Structure 1
Amino acid sequence: MELATLVRRLRADAEQANERRVLVLTGDRGAGIDAAYTAIEAAAVDDAVTLITTESGFRYERLHPDHASKLLGTTREIVVFDCHEGFSANALGQVTGAVDGGGLLVLVLPTLDELPNRLAALVDQVAVPPFSRDEIGNRFRQRLARTLRTHPGIAVVQLAGSAASTADRTASDIEVVRDGLIDRQEPQPPTEPRVYADTPFPAAVYEACLTGDQARAVARLSALATPGNAVVVEADRGRGKSSAAGLAAAALAADGSDVLVTAPGVDNAAELFARAGELLATLDALAADDQSDHDADTADRTEQPLSTTAGGRIRFASPPTAAALPSSPDVVLVDEAAALPVGLLEQLLDAPAVGFCTTVHGYEGAGRGFAVRFRERLADADHNVTDVTLQEPIRYARHDPVEAWLAWALLLDAEPPADQLVDNATTDTVSYRRVDSDALAADEGLFRAVVGLLVAAHYKTEPDDIVRLLDAPNLKLRALVHDGHPVSVALLAREGGLSSDLQAAIYGGERVQGNMLPDVLTSQLRDPDGVAPVGYRVMRIATHHAARSRGLGSRLLSRCKNEFQEAVDWFGVGFGATPRLLSFWRANGYRTVHLSVTANATSGEHSALMLSPTSAVGRALTDRHVRWFRERITSQLADPLSGVDADVVRGAIAAATLPDEDGANPALDLDERGWRLLAGVAYGPGTYEAAPQVFCRLAMAQLTESVAALSPRDERLLVRKALQGAPWATVADELGFISERECKRAFGSIAKAFCEAVDTDVVADERRRYEE
């Protein structure tokens, strides 16, 4: 069979079923790219074509593999992915998602026999010093080759020789290993959208929908026209949830509502704004300024509000900004909600009405924290909650084989064990298991359960993480197993122990892959000896939601430490700091050594780094960095960290403990004047303004040792005023004081508690003076 003939048959097969097909061109790279041109010409497609390759000089649209994400939200009839260079699992998911129904994904690959030992980019991705490239596995590449050989809808062609100059290839040039053809019945067409006349949205809104599923979602979102409602839209990728949100936003704004949109990034909201702008134009509801440029570049338009003739608007804000509900919006719409931290989502519930749109199984790394933990908080909120799930694909038939192949190859549909299998798990019923990469590769059920747990617990588990799980030599996977099912898993990354040359390079500012904690300790915190000690960083830890709060996570950490403590100097962790997480890690013996001065643009959280030493070298490393953290944190809190949540500050400093510190805290070593100033506030006419430096020192003492009997609000007051220097009005409002005067008077009670706790001779003399 000639290549052109095969392509035409594949294309006809795909178009008839409104499905997609994969054409795998294996062999020499040049021959594969040449054959890809033949495929494009045979498919009679000129415009809707994109090549993903590190090469340049093509007449079609070309993207580097590192920029494959630019295809998200777009459609193509043919996407050619040159996998020989720059290949990644993330890019594979992103480019596949851009292929439209009836279209072809063309993969240019080495022969499938050679594939497990090729694709150097995957080796580069997991190559981490001090491990050699020879220690990197090829299990993911074996998995990819196996799925390409066996999954329906995938044609595999073996090319002969190098690139040819002919416009076509004859039967002697190729060997059709698989033709990829599927004997399908006529596809079931998508349900027709209908108008929901019992909603406040006009008929044109529903007429703009592409499926009945989408129209039903828009109808549910119409509840947001009434305050006190929350709507949750869940869907797999490609179901049109963002478009549904855009149509609903346009209808609400056209009626005069102020709609605030947020998403992990401005690009994530591009489809929402595009559909909203189109519908507002159709409704002739765009204000004059927006009417003139609503066809402008989508990415640019997303950052500019859409204003309507009724006085409504649709505007975008980053998640941390949106959480403050700027200008008091009527409605908040959150796209890709699963990619945002639960705490931030909870803040958005203060809006009068809020809609959450989230991807259930996504190749961009959407987790299930939304579906699991945030659902619990949403159920306790004051809003009436409406749920809707989209199942009909927009761009291809429901049983598209390429979607199923991608989900299987990249474990996009991995789920944790069913609740009933682990809901009786306790620390007494579980066993500790060392799960190596060979076990994962050989046991599909175990692999999917582990990945399902990680996805459920973390909002950014990506396909690239599957590659690391299978092939990275620096990673260790450990689990607690209940009745044969993993109920808690920990992923550990070996870091440090690098050569003297690498130590010098990192100290000089060079980035070294896979050594996050030593990198920060050395390059940012200027510790020339921070790279030498060896440790394990806890990259991920996840416990099944049906068995949380039973000590399983702590038990797993303890078992991991027991197993490895003789071989390493420290255990460590880095995470977006929240009070709950800081408390968890502190309870497990981890101490704060760093709090980043910049917040994550998506979560608004500052990263905390914590260490738990396991050797004398590790203790020396940890102790000096805890001391350095305590020395600099007061200055940082007065400037770059002045807006950090007071409970985060309390948790971070509380975990910055030093051994044998009781009774020797330098923060309590006030001179005679300092104690007189404090006693004056406690028993006399003294005020906070006369002794801010005293309260600053005592705040550090209190947060590290709980010196005085203070309430959580008292400690927050010390943080916000004495350490962060917030204005009195701000502090009083945040902490619920009736007035600024009451807020100031609270320092008298705080001062008295310290005086009673320490009871020095100076304090006693001062107290008698005021009493007499």
Structure 2
Amino acid sequence: MQQYGVRRLLILSGQAAWCRQQALDVTRQYSGDWLWVADTPISDYPHLQRKPESVQSLLGSEFSHAVFDASKGIHAEALIAISGTLSSGSLLVLLLPEWDRLDQQPDNDSLRWSETPEPICTPHFIQHIKRQLQADNDVLFWSQNSGFTGQLLAKRNLWMRPDGTSTREQQHLLESLLQADTGTYVLIAGRGRGKSALAGMLAAQWSGEGECWLTAPAQASVNTLQQWADGKVSFWAPDALLEQCLAEQPQHVDWLIIDEAAAIPTAQLYRLISCFPRVLLTTTVQGYEGSGRGFLLKFCAGLTDMHLLNLQQPIRWADNDPLERCIHQLLLVEAENSLSEQPGKLKQIMDINQHQLVNKEKLLNQFYGLLTSAHYRTTPLDLRRLFDAPGLSFSVGLDDKQSVIAALWLVDEGGLSPELAREVWAGRRRPRGNLVAQSLAAHGTEYLAPQLHSARISRIAVVSSLRRQGIARALIAQQIERAKQRGLDYLSVSFGYTEELWQFWQACGFELIHMGSHQEVSSGCYAAMAIVPFSQDAVLLARRAKRQFLLNQLLSCVKLHHVNDIAPAELAQEDWRELAGFAFAHRTLEASQVSLYRLLRHPSAICSSLRQRLEGQTTPDILVKEGNLSGRKALIQQWRLEVAEALLMLNQEKCHHWKNWVAAQLPVISPAVESIQ
């Protein structure tokens, strides 16, 4: 393998103890630094060990050989990341349960993506990887039950190991960068292509008057880049760099290098780019941080002076490397390449399920490839979810050649018991899944929302050349009809709010009912939620939620002295419930603020600290200092106590009733409610 410059995959399949022992024997037989990746560490192991969720810190490192223990579950992002760290001549030893029972083995990794309380079996993903592995003649198998099977490598040209200088491909790009005047340069490459080395060479050879600065999601992942930079690049953590740029425009800095840019929030990237005359962004074709090609289409489309750079030739291993090819096939890294180069007009919309996807490879590759290209933060975790997460359904738009030109991904939500729905509303429980349904309860006032049955549009994509032709609206219109036929209460969507996006969803029939109070780190936008209500319960929910949303917006815009002039009025049932949730449970200040303002209109509600915050706009830090409190948690607890005292002063009977209701000592729907109004 070393002579050919290639790497191979060795599957050890059997009982966990047997697989582990054989793998240990292999590490002793063949010299190397043998990275071991497993959830449970091995005592007295002489080489580096990492848990799957920690391997991201190893990106940019290089190892000879690795063991990946997948006997309890397959962490797909870690698998692809580790494969990219192995040098030529390496083995990747993958430990799997008994081959014939793989599809019956609960996968512990499913807890990250299935939104289920217990690990689930993953038969569709197992069917997919079995098909790919069995078709690959370069994969080596060693089974506890059936012994070793494998073939010698086919004869190929001897590999010339890099001599430490730049390759012809790197040198060509480097010459262009060294002559750059201004602009943003985006370097996209697969792992092992030398993009970090190229970025380091740029810093080392730059002859301009200014410095070169470097930022990346993790400093540990830029070791290779810094070695090539020969000490001529200064590293900044992304948050610290942005803070520095906002405080003072960088002076005498010619280049900002952003390594693994797809892993940094887009809003942060745009702001950083605007502060420097020249910027080099590097990103991987597919990996932990998402899709490089999708990054190009989505993020780079917003850049005015963008130059695209590519590195195709691998450096750390030979071209057509067996391990790289195998991992790419397992995790559909090249799925975007399966999309039609000349897509036709929409001819058919078809509903599909997970069973159809796994049994139709062209459909699977094009469906996943389209989602990856349109949503660049799509990662192998999403592939695992696509195959086997419960409650999913899909639809595709096909052209006259049966090629996928549009894709839609739906997730079932709701149906929680009344008791669990109340726990979600109170802030005491947060079960997996149910994004919109839970948000309407926990961050809005709709404690009934999680009980209703709904479906959420999770992803929607149309090939770039056919956008703005009504294709997405056609897919959504069909799903609205399907949702009605299924007897769902409503169809929902959550998205980063922009005026253009909202106009699209509004045109599809959605009503905006909730918006987050803070900008999302990933998009720089406020999270918005909208629904199409069908049932009477959902229509009433939408009406109440829109009213609450508008009141929250009003409070954030109107001058506070006008609010303070409003005469006190009797608290409604909804106010008592909301105020009790704040006082006696874990409802947030933002979710309860409308009712809190109504409470403060009553002179008997003293709430001195809370008044200073809501009416006087005194900052929490000042209130903590003035109150000699230990921190913000103590301040919030003080506010809760103040509200509890105010409710008791207003109406002792109602206060006790709603305190008991919030504490789940009364039924969710209590006949006694009406009698005490």
| Coarse TM-score class (shorter-chain normalised) | 0.7 to 0.9
Which deviates further from its counterpart, 233-242 or 336-345?
A: 336-345
Residue 628 of structure 1 deviates from its aligned partner by 1.5
Note the 1:223-622 alignment, pairs <5 A. 223-224=179-180, 226=181, 228-252=182-206, 255-263=208-216, 265=217, 267=218, 270-272=220-222, 275-276=225-226, 279-281=229-231, 302-303=236-237, 326-327=249-250, 330-338=254-262, 348=273, 351-366=276-291, 368-373=293-298, 377-378=302-303, 381=304, 383=305, 386-415=307-336, 418=339, 420-422=341-343, 424-425=344-345, 429-483=346-400, 484-507=402-425, 508-566=427-485, 567-622=487-542
Distance in 1 of aligned mates of 2:136 and 2:558: 59
Distance in 1 of aligned mates of 2:13 and 2:294: 40
Residue 186 of structure 1 deviates from its aligned partner by 3.3
State whether residues 250 and 277 of structure 1, in contact with CA within 8 Å, keep that contact through their aligned partners in structure 2.
no
Residue 496 of structure 1 deviates from its aligned partner by 0.6
The one-letter amino acid of 1:437's match is: Q
Normalized against structure 2, the TM-score is what? Answer: 0.75
Matched, 1:49 2:35: yes
CA RMSD of aligned residues (A): 3.4
Counterpart secondary structure, 1:99: coil
Q: Which residue of structure 2 aligns with residue 170 of structure 1?
A: none
Distance in 2 of aligned mates of 1:630 and 1:494: 28
Counting matched residue pairs gives: 560
Distance in 2 of aligned mates of 1:481 and 1:18: 42
Q: 1:273 to 1:222 in 2, by over 3 A?
A: farther
- CA radius of gyration, larger in: 1
Which deviates further from its counterpart, 211-220 or 119-128?
A: 119-128
Distance in 2 of aligned mates of 1:42 and 1:222: 47
Matched, 1:214 2:138: no
Q: Which residue of structure 2 aligns with residue 121 of structure 1?
A: 108
Q: 1:278 to 1:129 in 2, by over 3 A?
A: closer
Deviations 1:599-637 (A, max 9, x none): 333433332222221221112222222222222234456
Counterpart secondary structure, 2:313: coil
Q: Which residue of structure 2 aligns with residue 90 of structure 1?
A: 77
Distance in 2 of aligned mates of 1:362 and 1:633: 40
State whether residues 230 and 353 of structure 1, in contact with CA within 8 Å, keep that contact through their aligned partners in structure 2.
yes
The one-letter amino acid of 2:93's match is: V
Residue 476 of structure 1 deviates from its aligned partner by 0.7
Q: Which residue of structure 1 aligns with residue 157 of structure 2?
A: 186
Residue 125 of structure 1 deviates from its aligned partner by 4.4
Distance in 2 of aligned mates of 1:457 and 1:557: 17
Deviations 1:343-387 (A, max 9, x none): 776663674333332323335422534433555555xx3x4x544
Residue 138 of structure 1 deviates from its aligned partner by 0.7
Residue 270 of structure 1 deviates from its aligned partner by 4.7
Q: 1:140 aligns with which of 94, 119, 125?
A: 125
State whether residues 450 and 489 of structure 1, in contact with CA within 8 Å, keep that contact through their aligned partners in structure 2.
yes
The one-letter amino acid of 1:256's match is: E
Q: Which residue of structure 1 aligns with residue 669 of structure 2?
A: none
Distance in 1 of aligned mates of 2:477 and 2:266: 27
Deviations 1:224-269 (A, max 9, x none): 3x2x3443322122212133223323444x6432445455x2x1x6
Distance in 1 of aligned mates of 2:244 and 2:540: 40
Q: Which residue of structure 2 aligns with residue 37 of structure 1?
A: 24
Deviations 1:69-107 (A, max 9, x none): 233222221221111224222222222222221111111
Q: 1:103 to 1:419 in 2, by over 3 A?
A: closer
State whether residues 323 and 344 of structure 1, in contact with CA within 8 Å, keep that contact through their aligned partners in structure 2.
no
Counterpart secondary structure, 2:437: helix
Q: Which residue of structure 2 aligns with residue 628 of structure 1?
A: 548
The one-letter amino acid of 2:48's match is: E
Distance in 1 of aligned mates of 2:158 and 2:296: 32
Normalized against structure 1, the TM-score is what? Answer: 0.66
Distance in 1 of aligned mates of 2:267 and 2:185: 18
Deviations 1:247-300 (A, max 9, x none): 323444x6432445455x2x1x6544753365343xxx68xxx8xxxxxxxxxx
Residue 401 of structure 1 deviates from its aligned partner by 0.7
Which deviates further from its counterpart, 58-67 or 514-523?
A: 58-67
The one-letter amino acid of 2:96's match is: L
Note the 1:656-671 alignment, pairs <5 A. none
Deviations 1:100-136 (A, max 9, x none): 2111111111122111211422554454469x988x6
Distance in 2 of aligned mates of 1:459 and 1:389: 17
The one-letter amino acid of 2:477's match is: S
Distance in 1 of aligned mates of 2:151 and 2:247: 52
State whether residues 238 and 395 of structure 1, in contact with CA within 8 Å, keep that contact through their aligned partners in structure 2.
yes
Q: Which residue of structure 1 aligns with residue 666 of structure 2?
A: none
Deviations 1:176-210 (A, max 9, x none): 1x2253123233426768xxxxxxxxxxxxx4x4x
The one-letter amino acid of 1:336's match is: E
Counterpart secondary structure, 1:565: helix
Residue 62 of structure 1 deviates from its aligned partner by 2.1
Distance in 2 of aligned mates of 1:548 and 1:325: 41
Distance in 2 of aligned mates of 1:598 and 1:318: 21
Distance in 1 of aligned mates of 2:337 and 2:548: 41
User: Could you list the runs of 5+ residues in structure 2 that have no partner in the other structure?
Assistant: 568-616, 618-677
Distance in 2 of aligned mates of 1:515 and 1:568: 14
State whether residues 106 and 119 of structure 2, in contact with CA within 8 Å, keep that contact through their aligned partners in structure 1.
no
Residue 41 of structure 1 deviates from its aligned partner by 0.5
Deviations 1:584-604 (A, max 9, x none): 222222233333233333433
Residue 546 of structure 1 deviates from its aligned partner by 0.9
State whether residues 156 and 180 of structure 1, in contact with CA within 8 Å, keep that contact through their aligned partners in structure 2.
no
Q: Which residue of structure 1 aligns with residue 584 of structure 2?
A: none
User: Could you list the runs of 5+ residues in structure 1 that have no partner in the other structure?
Assistant: 1-13, 161-173, 194-206, 291-300, 304-314, 640-665, 672-723, 725-772
Residue 214 of structure 1 deviates from its aligned partner by 2.6
State whether residues 245 and 275 of structure 2, in contact with CA within 8 Å, keep that contact through their aligned partners in structure 1.
no
Counterpart secondary structure, 1:592: strand
Q: 1:343 to 1:512 in 2, by over 3 A?
A: same
State whether residues 108 and 119 of structure 2, in contact with CA within 8 Å, keep that contact through their aligned partners in structure 1.
no
